[in-house]
Structure 1
Amino acid sequence: METTTREPSRQAFFEEWKDILAPTGFGYRVRILSQLMSRRFQDRLEPFGITPFHWVVLCCLWQEDGLPTSAICERLQQVGGTLTGVLDRMEERGLVRRERDSRDRRIWRVFLTEQGEELMDELPPVVRRVKEETLAGIAEEERALLSRLLDRTIANLAN
């Protein structure tokens, strides 16, 4: 009997809070999107022996080889310890090498190996296909708006 009397209040509660409650809440849907994209992304990178984190490090180095580890952390908004383990595995895989900075021995710089350079030709088309699958049916103007909105929401929480 109590269930029946609470039903209208449950509906009112849901209507008031549906923008934050799972499964209709904004944060929950962003999390689901992130999980689905990560899974698809990982599946596509796996044949290359690359993880999504390797991909973002490679992207930084393709843009500017020889970055200090601190600069990579800053660009990727990562904690140093996390990056160290990733760089260890990338070095073992033969994708990068680390060298001490010639002017400041406290700084380690990260350089692409030939194998890491070669992936610059192979991986971007694979990742673009994942992006296109993700954004299928969304017009270019909407994609641009989505990108701007994502940038703004990230900036809101990054401070």
Structure 2
Amino acid sequence: MKSNSIESASSTLGKEFRAPYSMGYRIKLLSQLLYRKFSDRLEPFGLTPFHWLVLCCLWQEDGLPTSAIGEKLQQVGGTLTGVLDRMEERGFVRRERDPIDRRICRIWLTDAGLELEHILPQVTADLHAETWVGVPEGDREQFSRSLDRAIANLS
């Protein structure tokens, strides 16, 4: 009798709520696959996906304080400090103290970091195209809006 009630309870929860069918599991899987593919494509440049995000911030506005980059990327200081250390070692960024407030450290792109703006967007565009082969544009837009709504709901 007891096993029937367990089976009955579990059958009322559809497959869509259990891995590997659940939306959360599949989103996580997609995220992992994209991260690996993107990492592989950035590796020849000595970059990681996190480096890419920092570069994107600086391509929009060079000379940002470290704290502003952290806010944009929703990262804590320790994580960002290590990323910036590696980017500086590889010659993509340089740090300078703000002349008005020496407590503020600003991050500036080097020539090598600026040059990547002409190379890396195509790398991401190619991965984007590969990811969405066979998915109509309208479906991609709806998926994006749905993800934004789900994120907002849980934020």
TM-score by structure 1 length? 0.89
Aligned to 2:68: 71
Aligned to 1:62: 59
Q: CA deviation at 1:156?
A: 2.4
User: For residues 130-141 of structure 1, what are the structure 2 equivalents within 5 Å?
Assistant: 130-141=127-138
Aligned to 2:92: 95
Greater alpha carbon shift after TM alignment, 12-21 vs 25-34:
12-21
The 1:106–1:26 alpha-carbon spacing in structure 2 relative to 1, beyond 3 Å, is same
Structure 2: 5+ residue stretches without partners: none
SS at structure 2 position matched to 1:19: helix
Aligned to 2:18: 21
Distance 1:55 1:146 in 2: 23
Is 1:51 the equivalent of 2:77?
no
Distance 2:37 2:133 in 1: 14
The 1:99–1:25 alpha-carbon spacing in structure 2 relative to 1, beyond 3 Å, is same
Q: CA deviation at 1:110?
A: 0.5
Q: CA deviation at 1:142?
A: 1.4
- Deviation sequence 1:45-98 (CA, Å, 0-9, x none): 111111000000000000110111111111111111100000000000000001
Greater alpha carbon shift after TM alignment, 33-42 vs 11-20:
11-20
Structure 1: 5+ residue stretches without partners: none
Distance 1:142 1:149 in 2: 10
Aligned to 1:143: 140
Distance 2:126 2:5 in 1: 46
Number of equivalences: 155
Is 1:113 the equivalent of 2:110?
yes
Q: CA deviation at 1:155?
A: 2.2
Q: Which stretches of structure 1, 4 residues or longer, exceed 6 Å deviation after superposition?
A: none
Distance 2:24 2:10 in 1: 18
Q: Partner amino acid for 2:92?
A: L
